[in-house]
């Protein structure tokens, strides 16, 4: 039985490749995970450009570097989710990663469907990114909380 996933960081990246939310669960290493998220985009773009018709959201292991393995996921609306797992010498089950990704996707989906996000925004604004970038902003806490909960839930498996 492989050990449970250890989630070091989660990154949500908008379809235009701007960061939405980068949540790090390790103190003092925030910058590193920003870089991980940013560099992951390269691999993600390479993967999705190869097979544009694929409807598969899960992109698998993007790369392993330092002590981190980056896994990628792309939602149908091209929001990219990258998680950074602590690199351990054990098999990471795709099914587990996928379920983590799905939970994160749902968290994002719930957060972004909050109608109050658009309260301040001009209606029919041409800027598609608007709610995406806002949802990770400091004003809206629920998204962070959800992501943190998912991370905790993954971590809780350790204690049981």
Partner 1 sequence: MNSYPPELLSQLAPVMFVAGLDAPTSTSTPPAPPTPQSATHPHTPSSAPPTPSKSQDSFAQLASRLRDALQSQRKPTIWAPERTKTFHIILVDKAIRFPPRKLVPPEDPQFSNAHSPLSPLTPSSPLYPDGLIAPIWIRKHTALVPSVFVLFLRLFEVPPINPRSPLDPPDVEHERERGEEERRRDAELSAEIAQRKKSTNERGIKLTVVLLASRRMLDDPSLDGRLTFIRRQSGLDSRAALFVLSPVSSSELNDFVRSLQDALYEPALEYYTTHSKRVRRKRNRHSQAVSSYNPVHNPLAAPNIPRPLRPEGWTVRYEYKMACFAEFRGEDEVALKHYQDAYATLLIMFGSTAILPPRTKRWAEAKVLADTINVKISKLYLYNNEHALALSHHNSHMRRFADFSRGWGIGEETFEYWSWMARQHRVLAELLEQGSRTTLTFPTHLPVPRPASVGTPLELDAVRALGLNPSHALQHPGHYYYMAARCTEVRRERFLAGESMAQGAPAAPGYANEEKVDHLTIILELYTKSYELFKKYSSPASQGRLTLWIACRIAHTYYESGKFDMAVRFFERIAKTYRREKWGTMLRPLLGTWYACAQKLGDIDMTVKLLIEMIGYGDTDEPGTLQEDLLAVLRSSVPSKPDEPLMVDLKESEPLLDTTMLFWKSEVRVGEDAAFQLSLIAPTNTVISSLPIDSITVRFTEEYAPVIIQHTPASTQDRVRLVQVGRLEHEDEDMEIEADLRLKPGDRLIVSGTMSSEIPRLLKVSSVTIELKEGDWTIEVPQEPCAAREGSSLAPRWLSSLNPVNFLPMGRGDHSSLSIRHRPHELSVSFTHPEPALLDEEYPIMIEITNTDERELDIIVDVLLQPTEIDIAVQHIIFDGQQSSGLIKGIHFGVVAPGVTALKTLYLVSGGAPGDRTIDVSVQSSSTTNDPSRSRSTSPASPAGPLSRDVSETLQTLVIPTLSALEVVYDVGYRRALGKRAELADLLRYEEEGIDDGTGGDSEAVVTARVTCGGPWGLEIESLNLIRQEVGGAKVLECFSEEGDNNMFPGEYLPGDEFCDMFRVSIAPDEDQGLNGGVVPGPGKYEIIWRSRILPGGDRGPLTSTHFALPPLLPPRDELIALLSVPSTAKLHAPIPMELTIRNQHPSRSANIEVQLALDPLDGFVVAGLRSGHIPVLLPGGEEKLVWRLIPIECGYVRVPGIKVMDRRRSGAEQEAEGDLVKVVDVRLDWRRGTEDTRLVAEGAEAEGGASPAEQVGLGTVLVLP
The residues of the shown chain that bind partner 1, judged by CB under 8 A, are 2, 17-19, 22, 30-31, 34-35, 38-39, 41-43, 45-47, 49, 56, 58-66, 69, 85, 87-97, 119-126, 133-134, 137-139
- Min. distance of Cβ 154 from partner 1 in angstroms? 15
Alpha-carbon distances of 159 from 4, 87, 104, 109, 145, rounded to whole Å: 10, 19, 21, 29, 21
Q: Rounded to the nearest whole angstrom, what is the least distance from the CB of residue 98 to partner 1 in the complex?
A: 8
DSSP 94-110: HHHHHHHHHHHHHHHHH
Measured from the CB atom, is 96 or 148 closer to partner 1?
96
Shortest distance in whole angstroms from residue 159 CB to partner 1:
22
């Amino acid at each position: 039985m492989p050990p449970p996933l250890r989630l070091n960081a989660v990154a949500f990246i908008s379809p235009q490749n701007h960061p939405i939310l980068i949540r790090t669960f390790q103190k003092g290493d925030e910058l590193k995970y920003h870089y991980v998220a940013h560099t992951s985009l390269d691999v993600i773009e390479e993967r999705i450009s190869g097979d544009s018709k694929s409807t598969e959201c899960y992109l698998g292991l993007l790369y392993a570097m330092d002590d981190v393995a980056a896994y990628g996921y792309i939602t149908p609306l091209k929001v990219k989710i990258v998680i950074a797992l602590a690199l351990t010498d054990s098999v990471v089950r795709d099914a587990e990663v996928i379920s983590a990704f799905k939970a994160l996707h749902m968290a994002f989906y719930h957060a972004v469907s909050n109608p109050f996000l658009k309260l301040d925004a001009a209606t029919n604004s041409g800027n598609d990114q608007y709610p995406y970038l806002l949802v990770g902003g400091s004003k809206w806490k629920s998204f962070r909380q959800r992501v943190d909960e998912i991370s905790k839930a993954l971590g809780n498996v350790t204690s049981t």
